[in-house]
Protein backbone atom coordinates (compact mmCIF):
# COMPACT_ATOMS: atom_id res chain seq x y z
CA UNK A 1 0.00 0.00 0.00
CA UNK A 2 2.84 2.41 0.86
CA UNK A 3 4.33 4.79 -0.12
CA UNK A 4 1.07 6.66 0.51
CA UNK A 5 1.40 9.93 -1.42
CA UNK A 6 2.83 8.53 -4.70
CA UNK A 7 0.11 5.86 -4.68
CA UNK A 8 -2.66 8.43 -4.24
CA UNK A 9 -3.83 7.45 -0.74
CA UNK A 10 -3.25 11.04 0.36
CA UNK A 11 -3.77 14.13 -1.73
CA UNK A 12 -0.78 16.16 -2.83
CA UNK A 13 -1.70 19.06 -0.51
CA UNK A 14 -0.86 16.84 2.45
CA UNK A 15 2.66 16.60 1.11
CA UNK A 16 3.51 20.11 2.28
CA UNK A 17 2.01 19.68 5.75
CA UNK A 18 3.79 16.36 6.12
CA UNK A 19 7.05 17.96 4.93
CA UNK A 20 6.87 20.54 7.72
CA UNK A 21 5.97 17.92 10.35
CA UNK A 22 8.76 15.57 9.25
CA UNK A 23 11.21 18.48 9.31
CA UNK A 24 10.02 19.42 12.79
CA UNK A 25 10.78 15.93 14.09
CA UNK A 26 14.07 15.79 12.17
CA UNK A 27 15.28 19.10 13.64
CA UNK A 28 14.15 18.19 17.15
CA UNK A 29 15.88 14.80 17.11
CA UNK A 30 19.14 16.20 15.71
CA UNK A 31 19.26 19.10 18.17
CA UNK A 32 18.31 16.96 21.17
CA UNK A 33 21.03 14.48 20.21
CA UNK A 34 23.61 17.28 20.36
CA UNK A 35 24.08 17.73 16.62
CA UNK A 36 23.86 21.52 16.87
CA UNK A 37 27.30 21.48 18.48
CA UNK A 38 30.22 21.39 16.05
CA UNK A 39 32.60 20.38 18.85
CA UNK A 40 30.45 17.34 19.63
CA UNK A 41 30.21 16.36 15.95
CA UNK A 42 33.95 16.74 15.35
CA UNK A 43 34.58 14.51 18.40
CA UNK A 44 34.10 11.49 16.15
CA UNK A 45 37.25 12.30 14.19
CA UNK A 46 39.41 12.68 17.32
CA UNK A 47 37.87 9.92 19.42
CA UNK A 48 36.45 12.03 22.25
CA UNK A 49 32.76 11.82 21.33
CA UNK A 50 31.09 9.13 19.21
CA UNK A 51 27.54 10.49 19.15
CA UNK A 52 27.65 10.92 15.35
CA UNK A 53 28.63 7.31 14.78
CA UNK A 54 26.01 5.98 17.21
CA UNK A 55 23.10 8.14 16.06
CA UNK A 56 23.90 7.79 12.36
CA UNK A 57 24.35 4.02 12.31
CA UNK A 58 21.47 3.30 14.69
CA UNK A 59 19.22 5.36 12.40
CA UNK A 60 20.50 3.59 9.28
CA UNK A 61 19.98 0.14 10.83
CA UNK A 62 16.51 0.88 12.25
CA UNK A 63 15.36 2.31 8.91
CA UNK A 64 16.76 -0.43 6.68
CA UNK A 65 15.53 -3.24 8.96
CA UNK A 66 12.14 -1.57 9.42
CA UNK A 67 11.61 -0.95 5.71
CA UNK A 68 12.57 -4.54 4.90
CA UNK A 69 10.02 -5.91 7.39
CA UNK A 70 7.35 -3.57 6.04
CA UNK A 71 8.15 -4.75 2.52
CA UNK A 72 7.96 -8.39 3.69
CA UNK A 73 4.58 -7.76 5.34
CA UNK A 74 3.29 -6.02 2.22
CA UNK A 75 2.84 -2.62 3.91
CA UNK A 76 5.23 -0.86 1.58
CA UNK A 77 6.56 -1.60 -1.89
CA UNK A 78 10.34 -1.24 -1.73
CA UNK A 79 10.58 -1.11 -5.53
CA UNK A 80 8.65 2.19 -5.51
CA UNK A 81 11.05 3.93 -3.13
CA UNK A 82 13.55 6.42 -4.49
CA UNK A 83 17.03 4.89 -4.58
CA UNK A 84 19.80 7.48 -4.64
CA UNK A 85 21.52 6.92 -8.03
CA UNK A 86 25.09 5.70 -8.22
CA UNK A 87 27.59 7.82 -10.13
CA UNK A 88 30.81 6.16 -9.03
CA UNK A 89 33.31 9.03 -9.30
CA UNK A 90 30.86 11.67 -8.17
CA UNK A 91 30.10 9.65 -5.02
CA UNK A 92 33.78 9.11 -4.20
CA UNK A 93 35.15 12.58 -5.06
CA UNK A 94 32.09 14.49 -3.84
CA UNK A 95 32.13 12.47 -0.61
CA UNK A 96 35.85 13.06 -0.09
CA UNK A 97 35.44 16.83 -0.54
CA UNK A 98 32.49 16.79 1.89
CA UNK A 99 34.66 14.92 4.41
CA UNK A 100 37.29 17.69 4.39
CA UNK A 101 34.51 20.25 4.71
CA UNK A 102 33.06 18.30 7.65
CA UNK A 103 36.28 18.20 9.67
CA UNK A 104 37.21 21.80 8.76
CA UNK A 105 33.81 23.33 9.51
CA UNK A 106 32.45 20.88 12.07
CA UNK A 107 29.00 20.62 10.51
CA UNK A 108 27.19 18.95 7.67
CA UNK A 109 24.24 20.78 6.04
CA UNK A 110 21.49 19.24 8.20
CA UNK A 111 23.30 19.83 11.47
CA UNK A 112 24.25 23.37 10.47
CA UNK A 113 20.55 24.20 9.98
CA UNK A 114 19.89 23.02 13.56
CA UNK A 115 22.78 25.13 14.85
CA UNK A 116 21.51 28.13 12.90
CA UNK A 117 18.14 27.70 14.64
CA UNK A 118 19.65 27.98 18.13
CA UNK A 119 21.81 30.98 17.25
CA UNK A 120 25.29 29.54 16.60
CA UNK A 121 26.95 32.23 14.50
CA UNK A 122 29.63 29.86 13.22
CA UNK A 123 26.80 27.83 11.67
CA UNK A 124 25.43 30.94 9.94
CA UNK A 125 28.85 31.48 8.41
CA UNK A 126 29.01 27.79 7.49
CA UNK A 127 25.67 28.00 5.63
CA UNK A 128 26.92 31.06 3.71
CA UNK A 129 29.97 28.94 2.83
CA UNK A 130 27.75 26.13 1.51
CA UNK A 131 25.94 28.59 -0.74
CA UNK A 132 29.26 29.94 -2.05
CA UNK A 133 30.30 26.34 -2.73
CA UNK A 134 27.09 25.77 -4.71
CA UNK A 135 27.70 28.94 -6.74
CA UNK A 136 31.29 27.84 -7.48
CA UNK A 137 30.01 24.45 -8.63
CA UNK A 138 27.27 25.90 -10.81
CA UNK A 139 29.37 28.64 -12.40
CA UNK A 140 32.11 26.15 -13.31
CA UNK A 141 29.74 23.28 -14.07
CA UNK A 142 31.65 22.56 -17.28
CA UNK A 143 34.77 21.70 -15.27
CA UNK A 144 32.91 19.33 -12.96
CA UNK A 145 30.54 17.87 -15.53
CA UNK A 146 32.70 14.85 -16.39
CA UNK A 147 33.16 13.89 -12.72
CA UNK A 148 29.47 14.59 -12.12
CA UNK A 149 28.32 12.19 -14.82
CA UNK A 150 31.11 9.61 -15.03
CA UNK A 151 30.31 5.91 -14.58
CA UNK A 152 26.56 6.15 -14.12
CA UNK A 153 25.36 2.81 -12.77
CA UNK A 154 21.70 3.80 -12.32
CA UNK A 155 19.55 3.48 -9.20
CA UNK A 156 21.30 0.34 -8.04
CA UNK A 157 21.37 -1.20 -4.57
CA UNK A 158 23.99 -3.33 -2.84
CA UNK A 159 21.88 -6.36 -3.78
CA UNK A 160 22.63 -5.61 -7.46
CA UNK A 161 26.26 -4.65 -6.86
CA UNK A 162 27.28 -7.55 -4.62
CA UNK A 163 24.86 -10.21 -5.90
CA UNK A 164 23.94 -11.39 -2.40
CA UNK A 165 20.45 -11.27 -0.80
CA UNK A 166 19.38 -8.15 1.09
CA UNK A 167 18.96 -10.09 4.33
CA UNK A 168 22.64 -11.07 4.36
CA UNK A 169 23.76 -7.51 3.60
CA UNK A 170 21.60 -6.11 6.40
CA UNK A 171 22.90 -8.74 8.82
CA UNK A 172 26.53 -7.91 7.91
CA UNK A 173 25.97 -4.15 8.22
CA UNK A 174 24.33 -4.74 11.62
CA UNK A 175 27.29 -6.82 12.78
CA UNK A 176 29.76 -4.18 11.56
CA UNK A 177 27.84 -1.44 13.36
CA UNK A 178 27.75 -3.40 16.63
CA UNK A 179 31.52 -3.94 16.40
CA UNK A 180 32.01 -0.22 15.68
CA UNK A 181 29.84 0.72 18.71
CA UNK A 182 31.91 -1.58 20.93
CA UNK A 183 35.26 -0.28 19.64
CA UNK A 184 34.10 3.34 19.98
CA UNK A 185 33.43 2.84 23.70
CA UNK A 186 36.87 1.29 24.17
CA UNK A 187 38.57 4.16 22.29
CA UNK A 188 36.64 6.81 24.18
CA UNK A 189 37.90 5.50 27.51
CA UNK A 190 41.50 5.80 26.34
CA UNK A 191 41.36 9.19 24.65
CA UNK A 192 41.96 12.31 26.71
CA UNK A 193 38.64 13.92 27.57
CA UNK A 194 37.76 17.16 25.83
CA UNK A 195 35.32 19.41 27.66
CA UNK A 196 33.15 21.62 25.54
CA UNK B 1 28.92 20.71 39.85
CA UNK B 2 27.57 24.04 38.66
CA UNK B 3 24.55 22.33 37.17
CA UNK B 4 23.28 25.36 35.27
CA UNK B 5 26.22 25.46 32.92
CA UNK B 6 26.51 21.69 32.57
CA UNK B 7 22.85 21.15 31.80
CA UNK B 8 23.18 22.90 28.48
CA UNK B 9 25.23 19.97 27.26
CA UNK B 10 22.99 17.18 28.45
CA UNK B 11 21.80 15.49 25.31
CA UNK B 12 19.74 12.40 24.55
CA UNK B 13 21.30 8.99 24.65
CA UNK B 14 22.69 8.62 21.09
CA UNK B 15 21.05 5.21 20.59
CA UNK B 16 17.68 6.70 21.56
CA UNK B 17 18.16 9.62 19.15
CA UNK B 18 19.28 7.24 16.42
CA UNK B 19 16.30 4.95 17.01
CA UNK B 20 13.84 7.84 16.69
CA UNK B 21 15.66 9.13 13.60
CA UNK B 22 15.40 5.66 12.06
CA UNK B 23 11.64 5.58 12.72
CA UNK B 24 11.35 9.04 11.15
CA UNK B 25 13.16 7.86 8.01
CA UNK B 26 10.78 4.89 7.74
CA UNK B 27 7.81 7.23 8.14
CA UNK B 28 9.22 9.60 5.50
CA UNK B 29 9.67 6.78 2.97
CA UNK B 30 6.24 5.36 3.86
CA UNK B 31 4.56 8.70 3.23
CA UNK B 32 6.51 10.22 0.35
CA UNK B 33 8.52 7.38 -1.19
CA UNK B 34 11.70 9.40 -0.65
CA UNK B 35 14.11 10.09 2.19
CA UNK B 36 15.17 13.15 4.14
CA UNK B 37 17.37 15.96 2.83
CA UNK B 38 19.23 19.06 3.90
CA UNK B 39 21.53 20.53 1.27
CA UNK B 40 18.69 20.75 -1.27
CA UNK B 41 17.24 23.83 0.40
CA UNK B 42 20.52 25.70 0.06
CA UNK B 43 20.63 24.86 -3.64
CA UNK B 44 17.04 26.12 -4.04
CA UNK B 45 17.99 29.33 -2.21
CA UNK B 46 21.04 29.89 -4.42
CA UNK B 47 19.01 29.27 -7.58
CA UNK B 48 16.31 31.67 -6.36
CA UNK B 49 18.80 34.44 -5.58
CA UNK B 50 20.66 34.02 -8.87
CA UNK B 51 17.33 33.92 -10.70
CA UNK B 52 16.32 37.22 -9.08
CA UNK B 53 19.61 38.84 -10.07
CA UNK B 54 19.56 37.61 -13.64
CA UNK B 55 16.87 35.31 -15.02
CA UNK B 56 18.79 35.07 -18.27
CA UNK B 57 21.88 33.82 -16.49
CA UNK B 58 20.01 30.97 -14.77
CA UNK B 59 18.52 29.87 -18.10
CA UNK B 60 21.93 29.91 -19.80
CA UNK B 61 23.69 28.04 -17.01
CA UNK B 62 23.66 24.28 -17.59
CA UNK B 63 23.24 23.56 -13.87
CA UNK B 64 20.88 26.28 -12.58
CA UNK B 65 18.57 25.76 -15.54
CA UNK B 66 17.75 22.24 -14.31
CA UNK B 67 15.93 23.70 -11.32
CA UNK B 68 13.90 26.54 -12.84
CA UNK B 69 10.50 25.99 -14.36
CA UNK B 70 8.47 28.76 -15.93
CA UNK B 71 5.96 30.22 -13.50
CA UNK B 72 7.24 28.17 -10.57
CA UNK B 73 9.46 29.36 -7.76
CA UNK B 74 12.40 27.06 -6.96
CA UNK B 75 11.39 27.57 -3.32
CA UNK B 76 8.13 25.68 -3.92
CA UNK B 77 9.87 22.46 -3.08
CA UNK B 78 9.35 19.63 -0.56
CA UNK B 79 12.81 20.10 0.94
CA UNK B 80 12.20 23.81 1.54
CA UNK B 81 9.10 23.05 3.61
CA UNK B 82 10.94 20.26 5.40
CA UNK B 83 13.76 22.68 6.29
CA UNK B 84 11.30 25.21 7.73
CA UNK B 85 10.25 22.36 10.00
CA UNK B 86 13.88 21.54 10.86
CA UNK B 87 14.50 25.14 11.94
CA UNK B 88 11.37 25.11 14.11
CA UNK B 89 12.10 21.68 15.56
CA UNK B 90 15.70 22.50 16.46
CA UNK B 91 14.59 25.82 17.97
CA UNK B 92 11.98 23.99 20.06
CA UNK B 93 14.48 21.44 21.33
CA UNK B 94 17.07 24.15 22.02
CA UNK B 95 14.49 26.24 23.90
CA UNK B 96 13.41 23.35 26.10
CA UNK B 97 17.06 22.68 27.00
CA UNK B 98 18.03 26.36 27.37
CA UNK B 99 20.55 26.31 24.54
CA UNK B 100 19.31 29.35 22.61
CA UNK B 101 21.65 32.32 22.21
CA UNK B 102 23.82 34.09 19.71
CA UNK B 103 27.38 32.87 20.10
CA UNK B 104 30.34 31.44 18.26
CA UNK B 105 31.25 28.03 19.56
CA UNK B 106 34.95 27.28 19.37
CA UNK B 107 37.77 25.55 21.20
CA UNK B 108 39.37 27.83 23.85
CA UNK B 109 42.67 27.29 22.05
CA UNK B 110 41.59 29.15 18.91
CA UNK B 111 40.22 32.63 18.24
CA UNK B 112 36.70 33.46 17.09
CA UNK B 113 38.12 34.70 13.81
CA UNK B 114 39.93 31.44 13.14
CA UNK B 115 36.78 29.45 13.92
CA UNK B 116 34.72 31.54 11.49
CA UNK B 117 37.33 31.32 8.71
CA UNK B 118 37.40 27.55 8.98
CA UNK B 119 33.59 27.37 9.20
CA UNK B 120 33.34 29.34 5.95
CA UNK B 121 36.00 27.21 4.25
CA UNK B 122 34.36 24.00 5.46
CA UNK B 123 30.99 25.20 4.20
CA UNK B 124 32.38 26.01 0.75
CA UNK B 125 33.90 22.53 0.47
CA UNK B 126 30.77 20.78 1.76
CA UNK B 127 28.57 22.76 -0.61
CA UNK B 128 30.77 21.89 -3.55
CA UNK B 129 31.03 18.21 -2.60
CA UNK B 130 27.29 17.87 -1.99
CA UNK B 131 26.56 19.14 -5.52
CA UNK B 132 29.07 16.72 -7.06
CA UNK B 133 27.67 13.74 -5.13
CA UNK B 134 24.03 14.87 -5.65
CA UNK B 135 23.35 14.97 -1.92
CA UNK B 136 24.84 15.35 1.54
CA UNK B 137 25.00 13.25 4.69
CA UNK B 138 21.18 13.27 4.93
CA UNK B 139 19.99 12.88 1.35
CA UNK B 140 22.76 10.73 -0.10
CA UNK B 141 24.35 8.83 2.78
CA UNK B 142 21.60 8.32 5.39
CA UNK B 143 18.54 8.08 3.13
CA UNK B 144 20.61 6.10 0.60
CA UNK B 145 21.64 3.55 3.22
CA UNK B 146 18.01 3.07 4.30
CA UNK B 147 17.23 1.57 0.87
CA UNK B 148 20.69 -0.06 0.48
CA UNK B 149 21.68 2.33 -2.34
CA UNK B 150 25.20 1.52 -3.53
CA UNK B 151 25.90 5.21 -4.15
CA UNK B 152 24.64 6.04 -0.65
CA UNK B 153 27.06 3.61 0.95
CA UNK B 154 29.98 4.81 -1.19
CA UNK B 155 29.23 8.46 -0.36
CA UNK B 156 28.99 7.62 3.36
CA UNK B 157 32.34 5.80 3.31
CA UNK B 158 33.95 8.64 1.30
CA UNK B 159 32.68 11.36 3.68
CA UNK B 160 33.76 9.69 6.90
CA UNK B 161 36.91 8.14 5.41
CA UNK B 162 38.18 11.47 4.11
CA UNK B 163 37.22 13.27 7.34
CA UNK B 164 39.27 10.77 9.38
CA UNK B 165 42.13 11.03 6.88
CA UNK B 166 42.30 14.83 7.03
CA UNK B 167 41.44 15.15 10.74
CA UNK B 168 45.16 15.40 11.59
CA UNK B 169 45.53 18.69 9.68
CA UNK B 170 42.63 20.34 11.50
CA UNK B 171 43.35 18.99 14.99
CA UNK B 172 44.31 22.38 16.40
CA UNK B 173 40.76 23.59 15.83
CA UNK B 174 39.17 20.88 17.93
CA UNK B 175 41.53 19.33 20.50
Are A90 and A23 part of one and the same domain? no
Q: Is the pLDDT of residue B68 over 60?
A: yes
Are A66 and A106 part of one and the same domain? no
Q: Is the pLDDT of residue B74 over 90?
A: no
pLDDT confidence band for A6 (50 / 70 / 90): confident
Total number of domains in chain A = 2
pLDDT confidence band for A12 (50 / 70 / 90): confident
Which whole-number Å values give the CA distances from A63 to A103, B28, B32, in the listed order? 26, 10, 15
Are A130 and A195 part of one and the same domain? no
Check the CA dihedral A53-A54-A56-A57 and report its sign. positive
Q: Is the pLDDT of residue B104 over 80?
A: yes
Are A75 and A136 part of one and the same domain? no
Give residue-wise pLDDT tens across range A90-120. 999 999 999 999 999 999 999 999 999 999 9
Contact A58 B22 (CB under 8 A): yes
Contacts of B134 in chain A (CB under 8 A): 84-85, 87, 90, 94
Are A150 and A171 part of one and the same domain? no
Nearest residue, CB atoms, A60 vs list B125, B146, B174? B146
Chain B CB within 8 Å of residue A27 CB: yes
Are A69 and A91 part of one and the same domain? no
Nearest residue, CB atoms, B163 vs list A76, A102, A161? A102
Contacts of A11 in chain B (CB under 8 A): none
Give residue-wise pLDDT tens across range B10-23. 899 999 999 999 99
Q: Of B135, B147, B118, which Cα lies nearest the Cα of A95?
A: B135
Average of per-residue pLDDT across B56-79? 88
Chain B CB within 8 Å of residue A28 CB: yes
Are A5 and A77 part of one and the same domain? yes
Chain A CB within 8 Å of residue B160 CB: yes
Q: What ipTM does the predicted assembly reach?
A: 0.95
Give residue-wise pLDDT tens across range A17-70. 999 999 999 999 999 999 999 999 999 999 999 999 999 999 999 999 999 999
Contact A30 B90 (CB under 8 A): yes
Chain A from 122 to 151: CB within 8 A of any B CB: 122-123, 125-139, 141-142, 144-145, 147-148
Q: Tell me which residue range forms the domain holding A123.
A: 84-156
Are A124 and A145 part of one and the same domain? yes
Q: Is the pLDDT of residue B7 over 60?
A: no
Q: Of B153, B141, B155, B129, which Cα lies nearest the Cα of B43?
A: B129
Are A78 and A89 part of one and the same domain? no
Are A20 and A88 part of one and the same domain? no
pLDDT at B70: 77
- Return the higher-pLDDT residue of A195 and B51: B51
Are A78 and A90 part of one and the same domain? no
Are A35 and A130 part of one and the same domain? no
Amino acid sequence: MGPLIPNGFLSYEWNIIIAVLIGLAFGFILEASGFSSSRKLAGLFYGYDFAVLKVFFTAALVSVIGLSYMDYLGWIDMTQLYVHPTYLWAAIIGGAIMGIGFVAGGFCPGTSICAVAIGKLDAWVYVVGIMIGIVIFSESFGTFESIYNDIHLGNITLVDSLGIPASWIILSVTALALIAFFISDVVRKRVKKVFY
Amino acid sequence: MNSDKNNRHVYWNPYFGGFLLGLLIIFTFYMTGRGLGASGVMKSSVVTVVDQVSHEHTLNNAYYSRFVEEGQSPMNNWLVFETLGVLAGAFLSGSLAGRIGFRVQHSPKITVKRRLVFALLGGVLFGLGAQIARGCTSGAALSGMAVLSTGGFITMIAIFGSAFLFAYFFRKNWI
